[in-house]
Structure 1
Amino acid sequence: MIDSDMLKRINVQILDGAQDWKEAIALCTRPLLQQGYITQRYIDTVIALTEKSGAYYLLTPVVALIHARPEDGVLKRQMAVTLLKNPVLFMGKSIPTKLLIALAATDSESHLDALSQIANVLADDKKMDKLLKAQDTDTLYTLITSP
């Protein structure tokens, strides 16, 4: 379960897909940018790091945890979740990614707390199956934030 303070309902979206991994990152982080949780520098840093080091944020083949350091443009602590109906391939990967989680952590403590919450969701196979099949954002949000 992800804390509802850490993930606002408005930051959860289900989209048809993305043209490529760069657009997927931009789409997933857009709610955080629009609401002032991150700056454009944050998004640019994630893309630059991916181009340099590959998709370092893939937790599983189908789940990406989009993140950069707090000093790379995080203004306030928050998350965003995007489910892609048509998965996207990340650079150098052969398995399409469907669930993107953007994490804006202001310090290492909030970063570790958020990672723990995310790990609990990912460890529940039944919940993950339901998440990946969610048809609407209310269902997706409820699945993520409920025990």
Structure 2
Amino acid sequence: MPLLPELSDEAVAFDAVAADWRAAVRLAGAGLVRAGAATELYTERMIAVVDDFGPYIVVAPGLALAHARPGKDVRADGLSLVTLAEPVSFGHPHNDPVEIVIGLTSATNDAHVTNVAALANLFNDPAVFPALRAATTPDEARAVFRD
């Protein structure tokens, strides 16, 4: 399986509070910015994707994959993780409410396809979601992404 970008300590937020889906995506974007993978403009593009195309980023029950296409606001491939203290609704008919938001940046189109596919494969394992939900340290979260 292709390796995902490294999840840095700066890109992780546990039991974060978000008033709505936009705030949840902003939390994921802030992790990508702190990790040096993107600028704040990328966060706004991730929100625009949902505004334009709907909540398709809610890829499984309780899980959103916040991302946008590669662009000048992407500095490197990156990954962020936000677990929410209280779930929020993205407006998805089947997979709401969301408890975990993964943020993803990809510097190239090829990396974008590869990273999204790697995350999809990872979450095919039913143990991954509860393991991330239970993680309380960046090391515990990284172990889930690696194993």
TM-score by length of 2: 0.84
Residue 99 of structure 2 is aligned to residue 98 of structure 1: yes
Aligned CA distance change for structure 1 residues 93 and 18 (closer, same or farther; 3 Å)? farther
Q: Distance in 2 between matches of 1:134 and 1:2?
A: 23
Deviation at 1:92, TM superposition (A): 5.3
| Aligned-partner Cα distance in 2 for 1:53–1:90 | 12
Question: % of aligned pairs identical?
Answer: 26
> What residue in structure 1 maps to residue 110 of structure 2?
109
1-structure distance, mates of 2:16, 2:45: 25
Preserved CA contact (<8 Å) 1:2 1:144: no
Pick the structure with more helix per residue: 1
Matched residue SS, 1:29:
helix
Runs (4+) of structure 1 moved beyond 6 Å?
A: none
Paired residues in the alignment total 146
Change (3 A) 1:109 1:4: closer
**Comparing both chains, which one has the higher relative contact order based on Cα–Cα distances under 8 Å and sequence gaps of 6 or more?**
1
Which residue in the other structure is 2:145 paired with? 144
1:76 aligns with 2:90: no
Structure 2's unaligned 5+ residue stretches are none
TM-score where L is the length of structure 1: 0.84
Amino acid at match of 2:133: L
Q: What is the identity, as a one-letter code, of the residue corresponding to 2:28?
A: C
- Letter of the 2:29 partner, please give it: T
